[in-house]
Amino acid sequence: MKKITFTLNGESRTVAVAPHEVLLDVLRDKLGVKSPKVGCERGDCGACTILLDGKPVRSCLILAVEVEGQEITTLEGVGRDGPTPLQESFIRHNAFQCGFCAPGIVLAATALLEKNPKPTAHEVQEAISGNLCRCTGYEAIIESAVEAGRQGTARARKPAARKSANR
């Protein structure tokens, strides 16, 4: 076991992990962070997507020991005081049905809008196509992200940014 320390949704966390443990299992089973979902354990579906230093990554493909000193955001750390404009757009468009893929897609879309605040539908498709959804046919997801960008209100809502935003 090795003790690692990293920032999780704005708070410093220290946890003992075995060398083979993947980040997804540590988040879910040791830290009780349940929004990243276990869908395939092979990096295929994207349901376990988290933000690592702002970039969307598959937490099932990352060993926990690798994240020492890094900053991790899960959906628990986004829109804590209420849905972000992007989340509101997802709600309006019925962008999710069963909701199991939602945490991964919301984070992947959040990261996209942070990098590219007004994406086209094509850019959304390229950026998020690694996240699988079996319910919606994706149309509403794409529309939501494009609309959130068009309204100019969508920004990544990482907890650190939220504190300084004082909203």
Partner 1 sequence: MPATVQTRDPRWVGQGIPRVDAEDKVRGRAQYVDDLLVPNGWHGHVVRAPVPHGLLRGLTPDPAFDWSRVVVVTAKDIPGPNCIVSHDRSMPVIASDEFLYAGEPVALIAAPTLRLAREAAEHLRIDFEERPAILTLHEVADQFKHNDPALVKLCGQTIRKGDAEAALARAHKVVEAEYTAGHQEQLYIEPQGLVAEPTGDGGVFIYGSMQCPYFIVHELCEALALPPEKIRVKQAAVGGAFGGKEEFPTWLAGYVALLALKAKRPVKIVYDRHQDILYTTKRHPVWSRYRTGLNRDGTIAAIAVDFLLDGGAYLTLSDVVMYRGILHAAMGYRCDHVFVNGLVARTNTVPSGAFRGFGAPQAIWGLESHVDAMAAAAGMTPHEFRLKNCLVQGDTTPTGQVLKWSVGSPAVLEKSLERCRFDEQWKKCSRGKPGAKSWYGIGVSFFAHGAAFTGDGEARIKARAAMDLDWLAPGRPGGIVRVSSTEMGQGALTVLSQLAADGLGLDLSRVSCPFPDTALVPNSGPTVASRTTMVVGSCVYGAAGKLKKALEQFAGKPIASGKEFDEIASAYLNKHGRLRVEHLFVLPPGTQWDQKTFRGDSYPGYSWGCNVAEVEVDPRTLGIRVKKITAFYDIGKVVNPVLAKGQIEGGLVQALGYSVMEKIGIDRKGRFDASRMQTYIIPTMQDIPEMDLDFVEFPFDHAPPGAKGVGELPMDGLAPAIANAIEAATGLRMRDLPITPEKLYEHSQKNLGR
16 lines the binding site for partner 1 (CB under 8 A): no
Among 8, 17, 73, 96, binds partner 1 (CB under 8 A): 96
Three-state SS sequence of 103-141: HHHHHHHHHHHHHCCCCCHHHHHHHHCCCCCCCCCCHHH
- 32 CB-contact burial (10 Å; exposed 0-12 / middle 13-18 / buried 19+): exposed
Q: Is 31 in the site for partner 1 (CB under 8 A)?
A: no
In the numeric block, the tokens 């509101």 are attached to 88
Binding test (CB under 8 A) with partner 1, winner from 3, 55, 92, 118: 92
Using CB under 8 A, which residues numbered 104 to 163 contact partner 1?
106, 124-126, 128-142
3-state secondary structure of 78: coil
- Give least dist CB 138 to partner 1, A: 5
Residue number with CB closer to partner 1 (68 or 98): 98
User: Which one, 4 or 60, has the nearer CB to partner 1?
Assistant: 60
Q: Which residue has the tokens 């997801």?
A: 141
Q: Please give the Cα distance from 158 to 155 (Å, whole number).
A: 9
Q: How far is the CB of 40 from partner 1 (least distance, A)?
A: 4
Question: Any residues with CB less than 8 A from the CB of 95 and at least 6 apart, and which?
Answer: 89, 102, 105, 136, 140, 141, 143, 144
Q: Which tokens hold the place of 54? A: 């702002």
Number of residues that bind partner 1 (CB under 8 A): 52
DSSP 8-state class, residue 86: H
49 is an interface residue for partner 1 by CB under 8 A = no
Q: How far is the CB of 132 from partner 1 (least distance, A)?
A: 6
What residues make contact with partner 1 under the rule CB under 8 A? 28, 34-35, 37-42, 44-45, 47, 74-76, 78-79, 83, 87, 90-103, 106, 124-126, 128-142
